[in-house]
Amino acid sequence: MIALEQFNQITDAEAYFEFFGLDYDPQIVNVNRLHILRKFSQLMADEDQTQSEEHLLQSYRQALQVAYSVFTTSNSVEQKLFKVFQDRPKNIVMLSEIELE
């Protein structure tokens, strides 16, 4: 389990890309670092942890590719991965919610 142990020691986004040998644009990672890692974490959580180390790491590699590709065509506001984007202020009424009588 050397590879999985190495994977579990990684602490930054660039190191994940380097570990899996994936190409990435540093500018995209710099702008969307937390969002890519959050999406990556969500996708990893969906993986079957009982599969072999090799298959698990391959699934994680695919998850990182997906997480990165989401932010090459989208942005953090559209993805709404963090609670701050999901919570709607309670003191705001949208014009679309106002009905005329």
Does pTM surpass 0.75?
no
Is residue 78 predicted with pLDDT exceeding 60? Answer: no
Residue range 55-72: mean pLDDT, rounded: 92
pLDDT tens for each residue of 1-55: 578 899 999 999 999 999 999 999 999 999 889 889 988 998 999 888 888 999 9
> Could you tell me if 71 and 28 are in contact, meaning their C-beta atoms sit under 8 angstroms apart?
yes
Give the span between the Cα atoms of 28 and 71, in whole angstroms.
7
Q: Is 98 helix (H, G, I), strand (E, B) or coil?
A: coil
For residue 20, give both structure tokens.
Answer: 């899996």
Element spanning 29, H or E: helix 26-45
